[in-house]
Structure 1
């Protein structure tokens, strides 16, 4: 009972913490009409706010629905910040998908981003059940995606799901990020999605390990930048990095571009 109360207290603290940043976000944020950068304006209007009913959305919905209906139990090994809701080692796939999987709105946005940017080499930190990997693949089926996952059982589940759909261009590497990042062979990545260790020190550490693999047109996406005080601090540090030229805060994501031809500028965008 005491452990249950502690979990609730941690979740309540984080929920309360999120309220104030979100209120500040609403006051600061804008849409495309407050953006004067042609590059960012085009990104927002043609990608973020794109209302096209892409057929691929049906596949994204089907995949998530399949997970939400799956009662299979998986023994989960948490190497990151863990979950505010799930504490048991054995978890149902449906529970993981509901509480830890990429939400449908964000999965669709990941699809649109890769459909718009046409990234060929993608790195994902945190496979989980593969919702984000699946959406990124659909955005550009020719892309090669490398996804890192600390838990061997969720990684195996996602890999099996990819194979069942005939997806062959997603490579899964299992183990702690500290180890698996050093196994990467690609010199650069067009897109890196950080979604596996939502703590300040870890986020900044992996950012520093991977920034040398960014080229001028790369994009780094950080999930849950306002999940905790530490994550917000990490995001503020990343924004100040001398190689980060254009950054966007969508509240749930922090997006970083490294375009040398653009003056350093930060945008707070409602999506």
Structure 2
């Protein structure tokens, strides 16, 4: 399995990712992985929802709301949308939502999803609620401390199809998020993690995720990690420049 070279400088690491052999699907023998890389990760076609979601971000910024800048960057949001559009999950969970922008990218592909978004910060929860209402989204927002809302959300969802979370600055929370959600996965569950190199703790946690026996495929995009649990695939970590 390929693992991140921890002793590289940031400049060397970026160059390393740019010239990985899996770019554009080169050297990928798995039909599933090749399809996912070429049709999702490397896809650059615009979708109808991108402009609508970014308009909501601009409206928040125009109102002076600084939380919109802390939410998912546009290129990552578009990848998030393409990923859920590819897998078509029905039960989705998002942990942490600065302004609701990622929530919209997460759920815009379909109107019949059962999606729960958790946010403990009161101002972020209010902003997320505004964004969801502006987009006429049916996402359920659970405000409050994660120690209470995460177990409640997982109980309400049962087995989860798709989990998205951004690295928390409260480092101990990241492991809590992982361990709790791992109790509710099934073979077709997908994890989408943003900020896998946000700090040393997240870099270590990402390497541990790649090595877990439940995990089959991982797609390491430097800032983003995508995790596939389907046991029919041979264990492999694809490192790509995104």
Please confirm whether the aligned pair reaches a TM-score higher than 0.5, indicating the same fold: yes
Residue 179 (structure 1) aligns with: 148
Contact 1:200 1:233 in 2 (8 A): no
Q: Give how far 1:102 is off.
A: 0.7
Match of 1:57 among 50, 59, 62: 50
Q: Give how far 1:53 is off.
A: 2.2
Within 5 Å, which residues of 2 pair with 1:112-261?
112-167=82-137, 169-184=138-153, 185-195=156-166, 197-198=168-169, 200-261=171-232
Residue 5 (structure 2) aligns with: none
Provide the secondary structure at the position in 1 that maps to 2:163: strand
RMSD over aligned Cα, in angstroms? 2.0
TM-score of the two chains, using structure 1 as the length reference = 0.79
Contact 1:60 1:107 in 2 (8 A): no
Contact 1:114 1:140 in 2 (8 A): no
Aligned length: 232
Q: Give how far 1:201 is off.
A: 3.5
Contact 2:219 2:237 in 1 (8 A): yes
1:30 correspondence with 2:22: yes
TM-score of the two chains, using structure 2 as the length reference = 0.88
Contact 2:167 2:196 in 1 (8 A): no
Rate the CA distance shift 1:212–1:200 in 2: closer, same or farther, 3 A. same
- Per-residue Cα deviation, 1:57-99 (whole angstroms, up to 9, x for no partner): 221221222122221xxxxxxxxxxxxxxxxxxxxx1x3222x
Q: Which runs of 5+ in 1 are unaligned?
A: 1-16, 72-92
Q: Which runs of 5+ in 2 are unaligned?
A: 1-8
Provide the secondary structure at the position in 1 that maps to 2:56: helix
Query: Matches of 1:46 and 1:121 in 2, distance apart?
Result: 23
- Per-residue Cα deviation, 1:202-233 (whole angstroms, up to 9, x for no partner): 22222111112111111011111111122111
Contact 1:119 1:140 in 2 (8 A): no
